[in-house]
Amino acid sequence: MAAQLIDGKKVAADIREGLKKEINELKSKGINPGLAVVLIGENPASKKYVSSKEKACEEIGIKSLTHKLPESTTQAELIKLIDNLNSDSNVHGILVQLPLPKHLNEKEVMNRISPAKDVDGFGPDALGKLVLDEPGFVACTPHGAMKMLEAYGIDPKGKHAVIVGRSVIVGKPLALLLLRKHATVTICHSRTPNLKEECLRANILCVAVGRAKTITGDMVKEGAAVIDIGINVTPEGKIVGDVDFDAAKERAGYITPVPGGAGPMTIAMLMYNTVLAAKMAAGMKVEI
Ligand code: NDP
Residue 238 designated active-site = no
- What's the 30 CA to ligand 1 centre distance in angstroms? 41
Question: Which of 212, 214, 216 has its CA nearest to residue 241?
Answer: 212
3-class secondary structure, 219: helix
- Which residues, judged by CB distance below 6 Å to any ligand atom, belong to the binding site of ligand 1? 141, 164-167, 169-171, 188-192, 195, 208-211, 214, 229-232, 262-263, 266
Atom of ligand 1 nearest to the CA of 231: 32
Report the amino acid identity of residue 94.
I
212 vs 235: CA distance, rounded Å: 11
Residue 146 carries which side chain, given as an amino acid letter?
M
CATH number at 87 reads 3.40.50.10860
Position 247 in a domain: yes
* Active-site residue, 102 included: no
Q: Is 55 a catalytic site residue?
A: no
Q: How many domains does the chain contain in total?
A: 2
Per-residue confidence of the chain (288 residues) as pLDDT tens digits?
699 999 999 999 999 999 999 999 999 999 999 999 999 999 998 999 999 999 999 999 999 999 999 999 999 999 999 999 999 999 999 999 999 999 999 999 999 999 999 999 999 999 999 999 999 999 999 999 999 999 999 999 999 999 999 999 999 999 999 999 999 999 999 999 999 999 999 999 999 999 999 999 999 999 999 999 999 999 999 999 999 999 999 999 999 999 999 999 999 999 999 999 999 999 998 877
Distance CA 222, CA 252 (A): 5
Q: Which domain holds residue 41?
A: 30-114
Q: If phi over 0 gives left and psi between -120 and 50 gives alpha, with beta otherwise, what is residue 237? A: left
- Three-state DSSP class for residue 237: coil
Same domain, residue pair 106 and 145: no
